[in-house]
Structure 1
């Protein structure tokens, strides 16, 4: 924060982009009460231009540094009550009902490199969407370290954190609920670019038209409202909105699950074309392993908030190690009789409010042992670039 900016108390809900050495002058000298302000008075356009210049001056990171890296990241909903507090005493006396604490994500490690497509798979309720929102910066982490370009977000200033978060954008599952029905398409797509100084008012129409055309929509449709489009077209609007701020990573949260099969293929092909054109990286969240197999470079399997296996696509689908991954692959119809056959998954996923002890998968695992009920398996390397969290690996 610049020491010369005396207007900051009035802007404490935002951040100030005043020049560090801005001179001060007296405003309204004829009044008894003097008000000082930094000159020149920065308008919204000036702040956007300075922020855009700040982004351009950021050093270019090395390709060897992960774009996104999460280390032992956890996310809990609900706050545990201290045992010696008044609320804890009332709970022990059964006078109040304890509030549940949900461990949505439990000590997850994740790394995404530039240009890489990472698939995040698992059953509903395993924490995929929560992890994706944490990667996109929409949810804060409860514990652990989240880094962008090798820089922990906790150690950055507000301005640096905002600049780095522009690199990650999210595309949601339901395009109808993620678009403001009161805004036209040109406002939806161009608002972020105008706010961050990536374009100005004069060039906004051309900028929005270019993003719509890149997403496969006609620029002539920019004056329409979201309800005038089909589901696939609304999803393309969401893609154009994400591309408008020039990101490096797109988090796709079941982005094709609500679309028809033919439209799904078009959107998936669009993702791959954008990857080749812009060098984008993707975190593709899906429960459709068939789509993940043809789209992703690497796969991360989650179960009840924990990562149970991670490997390259070819290695995972050919030599799945964890029993949960094997059960998921058993649900994919295969026409090749020579392919490996696995036992289908049985039972329902437990509640995250009361997860099983030890390995979360042991109530449904056909190979469960007494050790599985007591110890949490560590994520270990079973082959090059292939990690699995299973006690059976110690016996092999």
Structure 2
């Protein structure tokens, strides 16, 4: 089989890890790149040996390109993905999937009609940590899951991001920026959500940029920045989630899952991470070892057990979902980081926002299946022979 020919739209900071990950696999070939900044596109093409620099429209209309990697800003994710599936191309997008639920439904319906696949970040749930949790739950280590708590608190992105404006505009904020990591992980582990409730506030009307080159500049905040939510899953599990850009620090675990026989805990020392990274320890206690105290695990008293990690991809592997989608396209199966799951995540987040406005529980209107475990020998388990091009390097073109 020939590798999937991919056109990249959006050459910002996040594109680097996608391009680095894609170069480790033979199943796809990024043949063109585009962004609103032509110099940014040219620099990215030069750095990663991408053959063609062009406009987004040229990538959409190029019949030789099989798939679009959509790394644009959240406000135009839906627009680009819709154009891609209209053109009969597979598409994989950064999160969130869309900022309008109806547009997301339209994308999936058109993709089905045109027989193309839709995938979406985050794909961190394919990393070794959440995969370990999924395996342990399936093996019955903690019995039947009954509850889940997720916490992620930072003080925003303006302390490190050079252009943080869009994080504080519609489609941004901690719920839409950080929530997808945790909601996707919870869906992968526990299934879809039936209804939710939310309470939110906007603690600061302006934020001070501390990072160069715009340090000292104030930006307006247009979204809520501290959100608490309640979740009821279709299988009866209940949970809570806090996402915040207003918290200076926290010692709460990033994710805990409670079962009839024990507890799983992801408790990362870096409070800005959690399920937002691929690897790390999974801690657990069962009813035989659960003698609760508040001393850190490293002190050894009533220590948590560390789960055996049998899975790959503990390093930053963003773009792994795109690799899986490429194999899915070749083999005729559904991608694990699917558009359906991403749409359900957007549905949950919009329901949380509506609940904050209505003061009532809001029911979701979408559903999705839970992804299967990633085989420990992926991608060898795909058993597909990819034809490797004999061309040693591309010639850089600049058609825009």
TM-score interval for Structure 1 and Structure 2 normalised by the shorter chain: under 0.3
Q: Which of the pair has the greater relative contact order for Cα pairs under 8 Å at 6+ separation?
A: 2
Structure number with greater Rg is 1
